Amino acid sequence: MWASWVSATLLVMGAAAQGRPQEPASQLVRRVIAHEVQAEKHDNSYWMFRLQQSQSGSEMRTEEVAETPHGWVRRLLAVNGRPLTPDQRKKEDERLRKLLTDPAEQRKNQEATRNDVQQAQQLLQMLPDAFLYSYAGRKDGMVKLNFKPNPRFHPQSRKATVFHDMVGSLWLDVRQQRLAGIQGHLNQEVKFAGGLLGHLDKGGTFDVKQEQIAPGVWDVTYMNVQMNGKALFFKTIAVREKDIRSDYRRVSPHLTLAQAANLLNRKTNTLVSNR
């Protein structure tokens, strides 16, 4: 592994100085994304972290999240920076109790987590073929590439269509062969079924950053999606979500839902007692 990192760094960062042809940008993307996908498939670690999230212009919710093999367990800590009221804490207790005692709710929770992972993997695997790339700079071990849609690529889903119609930039950590960030915007209106099922307006933005949270372990720590459009029957839609993750702590890969809930409850009680 170390040899491959050194080789990659010398190839990309030193090619011009040594007078050798620079690695084609598309080839660099394909190599890094292949490593990214394999690294994620073999990452069996589980974590607790702090999540700040707002959707469609709603309030900012701060949650403590624990990952388990059975899906995420979440506990609301604050809304718009304000601690929960007794009534809000009661509702959180009831929601967690339902998750721990209702098999249908547990299946729903696990399926939602699995779907999120699969969709992220699918979009990631699109990157080498969906866009055309060109070098745009290097800084602090990162290579910046600009991208635009590849006219020969034909997306197979609505989400893939939106993703493919973006132009922007991505940043690659060449030494570790990881995707560090991607930022793009819709350079044209995106129509679904020729506009019959709706559209997304030109100019919508997508911004994601990924960081190393432990040696060899990376996670998305920032995501900001801001898009607007019209759905069927002229209903205005807003795809707006902002997520910020922080304060990562490793947990057991054998954590049960009940154990995860206990960890979250202890964390919540500690925060309340410290106020």
Q: pLDDT tens digit string along 225-270?
A: 888 776 655 556 567 889 999 999 999 999 999 999 999 988 776 6
Q: Report residue 193 CA to chain centroid gap.
A: 27
Q: What's the predicted TM-score (pTM) here?
A: 0.81
CA 100 to CA 106: how far, in whole Å?
A: 7
Inter-residue contact 65 to 72 (CB < 8 Å):
yes
- The pLDDT score that the predictor gives to residue 122 is 83
> What are the tokens at 121?
């993997």
**Which tens digit of pLDDT belongs to each residue from 16-43?**
333 345 789 999 999 999 999 999 888 9
- The pLDDT score that the predictor gives to residue 50 is 97
**Which tens digit of pLDDT belongs to each residue from 175-207?**
999 999 999 988 777 766 655 556 678 888 889
**Which tens digit of pLDDT belongs to each residue from 207-236?**
999 999 999 999 999 999 888 776 655 556
Work out the pLDDT band at 165, boundaries 50, 70, 90. Answer: confident
Q: Give residues with Cβ within 8 angstroms of 141, minimum separation 6.
A: 9, 13, 173, 174, 175
CA 183 to CA 80: how far, in whole Å?
A: 26
Work out the pLDDT band at 57, boundaries 50, 70, 90. Answer: low
CB atoms within 10 A of CB 47: 17
**Which tens digit of pLDDT belongs to each residue from 70-98?**
999 999 999 999 999 999 999 999 999 99
Domain boundaries of the chain, sorted by first residue: 2-274
